[in-house]
Amino acid sequence: MGVVTTKFIYQQNYLFEFLLTAIMIGCIAKPKLLTALAVGILLVRPNERMDLMVPFTRVAMICLVLMMIINKNRIRKPLWYTSDKYLFIFIAIIFAKTLAYNPADMVGNFMYIFTGLLLYFAVIWFMCNESGIKLFYCSVAVSCFLICLEPVYYHYAVPNGSDLWNMFHIEQSQRLQAWGMWANPNETALIACLGTANILFITSRCGRSIHYITTVILVSFFSFVIFLTASRAGLASFLLIFFPSIIFIKRKSIKFVTILLILCTIIISQSLTPERKDAEGSTEARGELRARGIQIIKDFPITGVGFRRLRYELGSKPVHNTYLQAFAETGVIGGLFFLIYLFVVGKNLYALSKKGSPDGINSYLYFMSGLYCSTVFYYLWGNQLLSVIFFIIIAQIVSSVMLLEEKKSASV
């Protein structure tokens, strides 16, 4: 997708580049601010949207490393969560197999995983407190809004079929999509789901009138984005964010409103979602890719084809299933450790949700459980194995669980 330089909401600005770079460097002594800024940059990915002089993703990573070195005495303990050992084993398996079978991929795979892992530890070490968590949620919510805003704007602001309109839509199906890493309707829908969850987190922890009003507006906006993407996986993931509220909430009035919201969303979705002319063909094509992915697992059950190599085996096409990707690329053992990690994280979150939040804000836990359910379901339809957004979502869940467990221990 070529870079268009006219009539965009987001335009190249040398002063903005200079100021943003200066702010990142200045925030090295402020771990929370720098981490929140880095999260935003890695989500929005401005260099994939505009032809900028400053490589902001690299600058953000360098600043995070310097921040950790300078502020090493402020790193919280423990250094990682108990379930992280399964993630570390999974990553170790990836590096061991890459070194043994695909050594030329070692640097690329290391940088790919290191980017997300660095961001994860920045959150765990420096933002695992009340103010840090809220700042983290705000950064993610604002980033998701910025990613979704421009495609929706041009959906209505320019004529159907124009160059600007086509840049943010799939030509045949006319489904909405963002840019760069998110230039796919399903990925754009995932961003909208993540934005919805973070708005709900902020509201549940703050709960002022202005937050409720903002929540109604932004959740409506993100839901509309999902409808415009016509993503079936995105719509189901959006509804799953609210699903745990039905299970855990005991107040009948709140449960009724939640169920009503979900039902209304399902009912009106058909009228708001563009016609999917490619639905049958898309399902058939994905079925063929997954069948080939399963065959690859059978052919390479121990070694796998190598991390981030499955796409080459499928003719440069994604398999559209993170779990299948894990087993096909890292072998059965690697895939099992990935599943165990997700299971243990979910198990700890469920146990905490069942007992209730130590600070009495149970709705916050319900929506966090909803994000988990939404994410593990989306992995059935998208490729996000150890991606940046994978680590951001895991960081949100794990840091929240660690903070609430810490509060629970302090109250005993």
Shared domain for 309 and 220, answered yes or no, is: no
With bands split at pLDDT 50, 70 and 90, how would you rate the model's confidence at 163?
A: confident
Q: 264 and 331: one domain?
A: no
Which of 275, 308, 338 is the C-terminal boundary of a domain? 275
pLDDT in the model for residue 213: 87
Give the tens place of pLDDT for each residue, 165-203: 888 998 777 899 998 888 899 999 999 999 999 999 998
pLDDT at residue 287, as a whole number? 81
Residue 105, pLDDT above cutoff 50: yes
Query: Residue 314 has what pLDDT?
Result: 77
- State whether 254 and 366 are in the same domain: no
In the structure, what pLDDT confidence band is assigned to residue 3 with cuts at 50, 70 and 90? very low
* Mean per-residue pLDDT of the chain: 87
Q: Do both 256 and 329 map to the same domain?
A: no
The 10s digit of each residue's pLDDT in 26-37 is 999 999 999 999
- pLDDT higher than 60, residue 21: yes
Residue 268: the pLDDT is 58
Q: What is the predicted pLDDT for the residue at 5?
A: 42
Residue 120, in any domain of the structure: no
Please determine, for residue 152, whether its predicted confidence score (pLDDT) is greater than 80.
Answer: yes
Do 197 and 296 fall into the same domain?
no
Q: What is the mean pLDDT of residues 383-411?
A: 89
- Is 115 a member of any domain? no
Among the residue ranges 87-96, 138-147, 311-320, the one predicted with the least confidence is: 311-320
In a domain, 80, yes or no: no
* 231 within a domain of the structure (yes/no): yes
Per-residue H/E/C for the chain: CCCCCCCCCCCCCHHHHHHHHHHHHHHHHCHHHHHHHHHHHHHHCHHHHCCCCCCHHHHHHHHHHHHHHHCHHHCCCCCCCCCHHHHHHHHHHHHHHHHHHCHHHHHHHHHHHHHHHHHHHHHHHHCCCHHHHHHHHHHHHHHHHHHHHHHHHHHHHCCCCCHHHHHCECCCCCCECCCHHHCCHHHHHHHHHHHHHHHHHHHHHHCCHHHHHHHHHHHHHHHHHHHHHCCHHHHHHHHHCCHHHHHHCCCHHHHHHHHHHHHHHHHHHHHHCCCCCCHHHHHHHHHHHHHHHHHHHHHCCCCCCCCCCHHHHCCCCCCCCHHHHHHHHHHHHHHHHHHHHHHHHHHHHHHHHHHCCCCCCHHHHHHHHHHHHHHHHHCCCCCCCCCHHHHHHHHHHHHHHHHHHHHHHHHC
pLDDT of the residue at 374: 95
Look at residue 406 in the predicted model and tell me its pLDDT: 83
Using a cut of 0.85, tell me whether the model's pTM lies above it. yes
Q: What is the pLDDT of residues 117-138, one digit of tens each?
A: 999 999 999 999 889 999 999 9
In this structure, are 259 and 296 located in the same domain? Answer: no
pLDDT band at residue 263 using 50, 70 and 90 as cut-offs: low
Specify the range with the lowest mean pLDDT, choosing from 25-29, 127-131, 142-146, 391-395: 127-131
Q: Is the pLDDT of residue 245 over 70?
A: yes
Report the pLDDT value the prediction gives residue 6, as an integer from 0 to 100. Answer: 44
From 275, 305, 320, the end of a domain falls on: 275
Residues 236 and 295 in one domain: no
Domain membership flag for residue 191: yes
Report the number of distinct structural domains present in the chain: 2
Q: Residue 201's pLDDT is what? A: 92
23 domain residue, yes or no:
no
- Residue 1 pLDDT more than 60? no
User: pLDDT tens for residues 266-296?
Assistant: 555 555 555 455 554 566 777 888 888 899 9
Answer yes or no: is 113 within a domain.
no
Q: What percent of the chain has pLDDT over 90?
A: 56
- In this prediction, residues 47-52 reach a mean pLDDT of 86
Of 212, 247, 275, which marks where a domain is finished?
Answer: 275
Residue 38 forms part of a structural domain: no
Predicted confidence (pLDDT) at residue 225 exceeds the cutoff of 80: yes
**Domain interval for residue 343:** 284-407
The confidence score (pLDDT) of residue 359 equals 61
Instruction: Say what the pLDDT of residue 269 is.
Output: 53
Does residue 377 have a pLDDT over 60? yes
